[in-house]
Amino acid sequence: MTTRRSFIKNAGIGAAGVAAGSTLAAPAIAQSKITWRLQTYAGPALAEHVIKPAVDSFNKIAGDEMEIELFTADQLVPTGELFRAMQNGTIDAVQSDDDSMASPTEVTVFGGYFPFGCRYSLDVPVLFNQYGLKEIWDEEYAKVGVKHISAGSWDPCHFATKDPINSLEDLKGKRVFTFPTAGRFLAQFGVVPVTLPWEDIEVAVQTGELDGIAWSGITEDYTVGWADVTNYFLTNNISGAWIGHFFANMDRWNEVPDHLKELLMVTFESSHYYRQHWYWGGEANLRVNGDKMQLTTIPDAEWQTVEDAAVKFWDEIAAESETKAKVVEIFRKYNSDMAKAGRPYRYT
């Protein structure tokens, strides 16, 4: 049998008789297909919109070079363990917000719904790409062996409840499924934050374990079935957009060839863009044409109490660390600029 070493040696001898200027092609070496396991925060119905189109597109283009295997909420590991599983290589990549995957970074509190940090979905990509949040996230995750690939916006945060909410008083004592930071903020208004596996929420509302949900906008309520078990939708929101991300284990990211890294970033950006119009259009359409939940509203003057409390909450967060203070200052600067710019950037 001819070994690889003797093959190369003999090929070199034979090359001496080849006409000057010609070259001998190197032997082809088979490359194994790269396979990633990516778990999303979203359940199956929601994943069809927030991640599956991008994964399908990537797999189609990458062909025999790489494949992403997609897993939905809690399918491989509980959502609260996503970060650790990715960090230790149990899974390769994650789509989630920092907050619900229990990220041990200085920026975790800003993931998901940071109270009144954003008014509209376009605020998120501008904050990350033009106001400096991307660089902070990249640095924070690199410290813990994780690649922060990109950030994007999802839907606004509203209450979907069994009983009508027409005043702040109506929120008192309500057991609500929400994000850790949102729950911490809302507790001052009497809300009782509850943490449960995502797949258990619908049944928990039906059985009375939960009085409501403050996890999404109305598009998600309809898509995942929560509109079937709640009766009312509060039009006031505590944030105009959820901040979510794509992450990967740093070692696995570094193993990927540059052209496939570029493809990952491009297809994930396509996911961010899809969600921009899917949520924006869906939120309006279902408020106008949806038939499963009745809309309620807390008067603006009363809701201002909540917005004023958010300013104090930001101060509380900023006092916790230098990095958090830097992020809060970016949020302040951005929202101040938007208010000064006026319509259509801000109406109040």
For 294-343, give the DSSP string.
Answer: EEE---HHHHHHHHHHHHHHHHHHHTT-HHHHHHHHHHHHHHHHHHHH-T
Question: What percentage of the chain exceeds 70 in pLDDT?
Answer: 91
Read off the pLDDT of residues 114-161 as tens digits, 9 standing for 90 and up. 999 999 999 999 999 999 999 999 999 999 999 999 999 999 999 999
* Residue type at 58 in one-letter notation: F
pLDDT at 76 over 70: yes
Read off the pLDDT of residues 262-295 as tens digits, 9 standing for 90 and up. 999 999 999 999 999 999 999 999 999 999 999 9
pLDDT of residue 31: 66
DSSP for 153-194, please give it.
Answer: E---EEEEESS---SGGGGTT-EEEE-HHHHHHHGGGT-EEE
Give me the sheet containing 157-161, strands edge to edge.
192-194, 175-178, 212-216, 157-161, 232-239, 294-296
pLDDT at 63 over 70: yes
Distance CA 320, CA 125 (A): 25
pLDDT of residue 348: 64
pLDDT of residue 209: 97
pLDDT of residue 250: 98
Task: Work out the pLDDT band at 347, boundaries 50, 70, 90.
Answer: confident
pLDDT at 3 over 90: no
pLDDT at 4 over 50: no
pLDDT of residue 303: 97
Q: Give me the count of residues in the chain.
A: 348
Read off the pLDDT of residues 315-341 as tens digits, 9 standing for 90 and up. 999 999 999 999 999 999 999 999 999
Of residues 6 and 87, the one with the higher pLDDT is: 87
Helix (H) or strand (E) holding 277: helix 258-289
Say what the pTM is.
0.88
Distance CA 300, CA 45 (A): 34
pLDDT of residue 5: 38
Distance CA 26, CA 4 (A): 12
pLDDT at 258 over 60: yes
Read off the pLDDT of residues 173-229 as tens digits, 9 standing for 90 and up. 999 999 999 999 999 999 999 999 888 999 999 999 999 999 999 999 999 999 999
Which domains occur in the chain, in start order?
A: 34-153+242-284 (3.40.190.170), 157-240+291-341 (3.40.190.170)
pLDDT of residue 17: 43
Distance CA 217, CA 224 (A): 11
